[in-house]
Amino acid sequence: MSRSFFEAVKNRRTVYALGKNKVVSKDRIREIAEFAVLNSPSAFNSQSGRVVVLFDAESSRFWNIAREALRKIVPPEAFAKTEEKIASFDAGYGTVLFFEDQSVVEGLMTGFPLYRDNFPVWSLESNGMMQFTVWSALEDEGLGASLQHYNPLVDEDVRKAWQIPETWKLLAEMPFGSVVAAAGEKEYQPVDSRLKVFG
Ligand SMILES: Cc1cc2nc3c(=O)[nH]c(=O)nc-3n(C[C@H](O)[C@H](O)[C@H](O)COP(=O)(O)O)c2cc1C
């Protein structure tokens, strides 16, 4: 990480204008994904998070799946806008898919009935931490990324395209690429209305 932790956290932004300029190697992106998978925390150290990294044509294959799935449900007059949005995600050079293995979550629910209702929630929280680690690390390398949710619309086709195990539930998709235009200004609510400190 070239920046301090605080700088990296602050610099992580939603970047929609992506390009295919390979400013970071595929090996480095693989390392980032590996780092996030290994080091993100999970409830009971269950390690239920799963990640798939798609580069180039494989990434385009994902966005084609999303486009065709949306074509079936978006009214024709609104589809041009949808297509434009999908093209902007496909304009990057890769996409990270985030999953949670439901067999792990269900195993915990059965094994620890006292916490049964908590495990699905903790699974989502834990996956969010993994998403955040990847997102921040990509930005720290100089790439732009955003977080998208075309699941569950695309789930079956994704499963078939990359032989994803039945138990892996798709939660989020993160298109990334070179930064064509930086993120816009961000508004912040007053921190005093969101944070209380005692003692
Ligand atoms: C749980 C979660 C879900 C999100 N879902 C989407 C999404 O489906 N599409 C999208 O474009 N952005 C999505 N975002 C990005 C937020 O809109 C964005 O993080 C927020 O506006 C703050 O901007 P920033 O990311 O630049 O700090 C999501 C963010 C989070 C944390």
The pLDDT confidence band at residue 3, using thresholds 50, 70 and 90, is confident
In short, whether 148's Cβ falls inside 6 Å of ligand 1 is yes
* Identity at 176, one-letter amino acid code: F
| Alpha-carbon gap, residue 152 to 130, rounded angstroms | 20
67-87: pLDDT as tens digits: 999 999 999 999 999 999 999
Confidence bin at 47 (pLDDT 50/70/90): very high
pTM: 0.97
From atom 21 of ligand 1, which residue's Cα is the shortest distance away? 14
